[in-house]
Amino acid sequence: MTGLAELIPELAVVVLAAGLSIILHEVAHGWVAYRLGDPTAKLAGRLTLNPLAHIDPVGTLLVPGLLLLLATVTKAPIILFGWARPVPINPLYFRRPYRDLMLVGLAGPLLNLSLAGLGLAAWQPLSRSSQPLPELLGLFLAALILINLILAFYNLIPIPPLDGSRVLAYFLPPRGRMLLHRLEPFGLFLALGVLFLLWQSKLLERLLEPLLRFLGLGP
């Protein structure tokens, strides 16, 4: 129990970075949709940073909590993942639905890349300072950078329900768009399958290895 108690501040910092990144990702979708004429997210109260408005009982609480408990008990390298409640979008408000859906889809990953950039911009001068970087602040910035890069690139994979599917749909002919629509009922399984393949192949680990070394988190 002592070891777990010592981990609580670190877990809290990582959860804070993850929660901020996921919430801002969803708010970015809703804000761009609102700017393009769709008030659905605003009317639903989703253009807010209040985490209670974005919590999905299963994706935000149950799944990450069970995975975290399993990783703590078994000491196994388990990917922690989850999701917030998707921001409601109504494309009937859009003047150019496929183009506007693409812009809405891109808003989340671009926001995540911006947060990762801000984290790096803060990390560099602080890490070079003569004063040692406070451990929890360093962990927060490292988590902010890594989580946002992973969120951005994972969400750009062009399969539903990920944001990349909206980008792909804009460039596809009508028959290709129909195929994407038919895949939507299986989207969650496809997304989890891709996540599992990335973990099994260690591709994500290899891609992030230079950054992890730069942040002092790798071998």
| Eight-state DSSP code of residue 86 | P
- Catalytic annotation present for 205: no
Residue tagged active-site, from 26, 184, 205, 209: 26
Task: List Cβ neighbours of 149 (8 Å cut-off, separation of 6 or more).
Answer: 112, 113, 116, 208, 211
Rounded-to-5 percentages of helix, strand, coil across the chain: 75, 0, 25
Using CB atoms within 10 Å of the CB of residue 27, give its burial: 0 to 12 exposed, 13 to 18 middle, 19+ buried: buried
Which one-letter DSSP state was computed for residue 55?
-
How is 88-132 classified by DSSP, letter by letter?
A: P--GGG-SSHHHHHHHHHHHHHHHHHHHHHHHHHHHHHHHHSSSP
Catalytic residue list: 26
